[in-house]
Chains A and B, each alone.
Chain A
Amino acid sequence: MMTEWVLVCAADDIEEEDVIRFDHGDRTFAVYRSPDDEYYATDGLCTHEKIHLADGLVMDNVIECPKHNGRFDYTDGSALGAPVCVNLQTYPVKVEDGLVFISL
């Protein structure tokens, strides 16, 4: 199957060491820009209680759920301890001509 690359936003729309919410169809994602200027994407909702992660704080390569402080490494989706125990699904990201795309 061909990979479908979906346009998210301009690369500059995400601040360094920050995250934005991206809705596509009936799904929601979180797209990140790391302190060293790499882009990543994960499912948008926390695996604990379905809270939008994009409202949370990004520090280095960690996103913290805004509600109950569950933490994930957004570069590989791994849950970093209670109250979250289920990893986040991650998605490939590419930046071309100043635009960010994710592969769903």
Chain B
Amino acid sequence: MESLTIIGASEADTRTALHLQERGWDGEIVLIGQEPHTPYEHPPLSKAVLTEGNSPPLLSSAEQLQELQIRFLQGSQVAEIDRQSHRLRLQNNEFLPYDKLLLATGASARRLTCTGSEHTLVLRNLDETLAFRSLLATGKHLILIGAGFIGLELAASARKVGCQVTVLEIAPRILGRAVPAEVAEVVASEHKQQGVEIRCDVKLDQIQALKSGYTIELKNVESISGDLVVAGISAVPEVALAEAAGLDIENGVSVNAFQQTSDPDIYAVGDCCSFPHPLYEQQRMSLEMWRCARDQAECAVQNLLGETKEFSAVPWFWSDQFELSLQVAWLPSFAKRVIPRTRLDGVTIYFGLNDQEKLVSAAGVGAGNSVTKDIRLAEMLIATQKTMNPAELSDPNLNLKKLLKS
């Protein structure tokens, strides 16, 4: 009987523990969570948790973990991975032996580096989100730095609860390379209509604390003052433990196609790892995507159970802002040209083709879940690696499902 120890108790990690139990792993499973909470879903933090004050759904209840005989160490931190003797040292100096280890340490928020950056808040977990929520109130002026997904979701949520919101972005447009310019434009105009002020092309000089609130000095333009400053400028993979243990690091804990690190007894999944992607010439990437973490967890589970499973899922993510939902399959930055498909309901899906006319990305934004079916089908089309006919892709009368089955 082998034991598996999992560091992290978020999406990928908890799912792994549950999957393994479902699939009949007969050894001990230990789940080590740093936060003082039962494992919960993270995506609602920037959305319903902020606007409604709802608790996020749990990934598993304490009772369920107990029932499945998963030993859950809540609010526990690992200080060191001792690979030689196959054991972990916890912060409280307790030792924990392992046979197999799974790292799902996630990513932490990137911090600003300008003078006064200590005045900015970041949101990554439930406690930070609840603390932030308690500071929001009607009429308060929130300044968000970074117009990426997290920044814009926070902007929408803060606006919904009545805050005045300004978003500052260093790049010429919002959402950077993550979505085509046309999709970013739809999102930007929705924010504008809802009263969010987005200022692109600005450079931060410094942040100063006032008696009440803060002033952000900008280069070449007038400064801006507000009550709260939040930074949402991407995330950094949490690799400290792995690095100290001498594992290969390459913009994340480096894993092979099987989610295995440079130590065959240690696997890594989710935001903390970087992996080669077979659908893109084995290019190494690290993604912060909810479903990717889940898919990698499933892949690691199969390999832990002695199968040989390569990770190959098409990256996909979504973001909800106001009444809009945006979805992207794969990474539009890999596309050489974009084929728009404007549907009869006016929503446009943007397909990205590479040099060989293979579909490499699809992105769309619309009310509610109106783009879901098309993006899901696009994902399947991407996975087939078939050469596409641009005229067919752009024809709204042609069912994408037919293309998939042809």
Name the contact of B368 in the complex, choosing from A48, A55, A57, A64 (C-beta under 8 A): A55
Interchain CB contact under 8 A, A67 and B15: no
Interchain CB contact under 8 A, B291 and A56: no
Interchain CB contact under 8 A, B401 and A64: no
Contacts A17-B401, A49-B57, A82-B15; A64 near B376 (Cβ below 8 A): yes
| 0/1 string, B292-309, CB within 8 A of A gives 1 | 001000000000000000
What is the distance, in angstroms, from A1's C-beta to the closest C-beta of chain B? 36
| B377 at the binding interface (Cβ < 8 Å) | yes
Contacts A17-B401, A49-B57; A55 near B370 (Cβ below 8 A): yes
Interchain CB contact under 8 A, A55 and B57: no
The prevalent SS among residues of A at the interface is loop
What is the distance, in angstroms, from B114's C-beta to the closest C-beta of chain A? 37
Return the chain B residue nearest A19 by Cβ.
B373
Return the chain B residue nearest A52 by Cβ.
B369
What is the distance, in angstroms, from B63's C-beta to the closest C-beta of chain A? 14
Question: Using Cβ atoms and an 8 Å threshold, which residues of chain B touch A51?
Answer: 369
| 0/1 string, A52-74, CB within 8 A of B gives 1 | 10011100000010110100000
| B100 at the binding interface (Cβ < 8 Å) | no
Interchain CB contact under 8 A, A57 and B15: no
The prevalent SS among residues of B at the interface is helix
What is the distance, in angstroms, from B49's C-beta to the closest C-beta of chain A? 13
Within 8 A of A (CB), among B123-176: none
Return the chain A residue nearest B294 by Cβ.
A82
| B218 at the binding interface (Cβ < 8 Å) | no
- The interface on chain A, measured as residues whose beta carbon lies within 8 A of the other chain's beta carbons, has a size of 14
A50 CA / B57 CA spacing, docked (Å):
12
Return the chain A residue nearest B290 by Cβ.
A68
Interchain CB contact under 8 A, B370 and A82: no
Interchain CB contact under 8 A, B369 and A57: no
Question: Using Cβ atoms and an 8 Å threshold, which residues of chain A touch B15?
Answer: 82
A57 CA / B363 CA spacing, docked (Å):
16
Interchain CB contact under 8 A, B19 and A55: no
What is the distance, in angstroms, from A64's C-beta to the closest C-beta of chain B? 7
Interchain CB contact under 8 A, B373 and A66: yes
What is the distance, in angstroms, from B314's C-beta to the closest C-beta of chain A? 12
A17 CA / B377 CA spacing, docked (Å):
13
| 0/1 string, B369-404, CB within 8 A of A gives 1 | 110110011000000000000000000000101000
Within 8 A of A (CB), among B344-378: 368-370, 372-373, 376-377
Interchain CB contact under 8 A, A55 and B372: yes
What is the distance, in angstroms, from A51's C-beta to the closest C-beta of chain B? 7
Interchain CB contact under 8 A, A82 and B18: yes
What is the distance, in angstroms, from A6's C-beta to the closest C-beta of chain B? 25
Interchain CB contact under 8 A, A67 and B291: no
Residue among A15, A49, A82 having the largest count of chain B Cβ atoms under 10 Å: A82
Interchain CB contact under 8 A, A57 and B370: no
Question: Using Cβ atoms and an 8 Å threshold, which residues of chain A touch B294?
Answer: 82
Name the contact of A57 in the complex, choosing from B19, B57, B318, B372 (C-beta under 8 A): B372
Contacts A49-B57, A82-B19; A55 near B373 (Cβ below 8 A): yes
Interchain CB contact under 8 A, A57 and B18: no
Question: Using Cβ atoms and an 8 Å threshold, which residues of chain B touch A56?
Answer: 369, 372-373, 376
Question: Using Cβ atoms and an 8 Å threshold, which residues of chain A touch B57?
Answer: 48-49
What is the distance, in angstroms, from A52's C-beta to the closest C-beta of chain B? 7
Question: Using Cβ atoms and an 8 Å threshold, which residues of chain B touch A67?
Answer: 318, 369, 372
B residues neighboring A (CB under 8 Å): 15, 18-19, 57, 291, 294, 318, 368-370, 372-373, 376-377, 399, 401
A residues neighboring B (CB under 8 Å): 15, 17, 48-49, 51-52, 55-57, 64, 66-67, 69, 82
Q: What are some 9 contacts across the A-B interface (CB < 8 A)?
A: A15-B399, A49-B57, A52-B369, A55-B368, A55-B373, A56-B369, A56-B372, A57-B372, A64-B376
